[in-house]
Amino acid sequence: MSIFKKLFGSKNNEKPQQENINSNNIESSPSTPPMLSETRQKTLSVCQSAGFTPANSLPTELNRQLRPKIEIGNRLHAIKALVLWLMVPQDNLPNEKILSFIDNNNLQNYMTEQEKTILTGARDDEQQRNAIGWKFENAWPLAWYFGYTEPEITGQMMDGDQMKDILTKHTCSLDKTVQEWVNSTQCISENELAQKEDLFYCLHNAVRSAQLGGNTVPQGFNPVGNGGVIHERRHALTWMLSKGTSWEETDLST
C-alpha cells in the first residue's frame, strides 16, 4: 500500500459511492429562460437537472478577468506543499525538501497568512490535518485548469485516490520549478473556465439559500457539509477569474 493510500484512504473504503453528476452529460432543458446569456442558460439547465434551484435573477455580467497562468500554477503548488507538510511524515520527506521547493518558487506569496503558520508548526498536528482536506477542494479546480478531471457538483469530498493523482500526476515534482511545469502543461480555454465558474456561482447561490432554510438543493444534499465542498471549489474557480485580487479578497457573494 502506498504512503498516499495509508494517509488519505480511498473512495472504496471510506465513503459510499455517489452518483457522478457531470455537467457535460446533461442535456439542455427547454424550460430554461430564453432571454439569458447562453452561458447562464446552460448553467441553469445543469442546475435544474441536478436538483439545484438558484435564483433566476442572478447577474450575468460580473467583469471576470483571467489571471496569469503562472499564478494559477503557483497557488496549486502552494496547496501541494502545505498538504505534503502535514500529511507525509518527515522520515519520508524532510522539511528541507519542502521548504526549498517553496522558497525556489516563491510559493509563500500564494499562501494566506493563516496557511503560512502551518509551516511553523508540527507536521503531525492533528487539528491541521483534519482541516487540510478543504484545501484539496480548492486544488481540484486549479488542477482541472491544467488537465485534471472536471470538478463534480455532487458535494462529495475528494477521496484518497484523487488526492494522490493531483500530487503525483498533475503537479510538478519538488526538484523542478513551477514555471517550467506551467510552460509545458496545456490548460483549458478561458471560455470553458468561465462556464464552469458560472455553474459553481449559481450552485453556491442555491447552497446558501438552502442554508437559510430554502428547498433549493437535491434530496440528501447536506447544505453545510456538501455545501462547503461547493463553496471551496467555487472559491478557486472565481479566484482564477479575478485577476489582481488576492485569495482572501476573492468576491464570493451570490
pLDDT at 1 over 60: no
pTM, full prediction: 0.87
Q: Are 192 and 37 in contact (CB under 8 A)?
A: no
Q: How confident is the model at residue 7 (pLDDT cuts 50, 70, 90)?
A: low
144 and 91, same domain (yes or no): yes
92 and 41, same domain (yes or no): no
List C-alpha distances in Å: 142 to 74, 178, 180. 10, 14, 17
pLDDT at 162 over 50: yes
93 and 165, same domain (yes or no): yes
Residue 217, classed as helix, strand or coil, is coil
> Which segment of 20-34, 104-118, 153-167 scores lowest on mean pLDDT?
20-34
- List the domain range (segments joined by +) for residue 213: 9-65+190-218+233-240
Q: How confident is the model at residue 61 (pLDDT cuts 50, 70, 90)?
A: confident
Backbone angles phi, psi at 26, to 5 degrees: -105, 125
Which among 129, 121, 128, 127 is positioned nearest to 8, based on CA atoms? 129
Number of domains in the chain: 2
Tell me if 213 is assigned to some domain: yes
Backbone angles phi, psi at 46, to 5 degrees: -60, -45
Give me the mean pLDDT over the 92-113 stretch: 98
Tell me if 4 is assigned to some domain: no
113 and 79, same domain (yes or no): yes
55 and 141, same domain (yes or no): no
Q: Which amino acid is at 24?
A: N
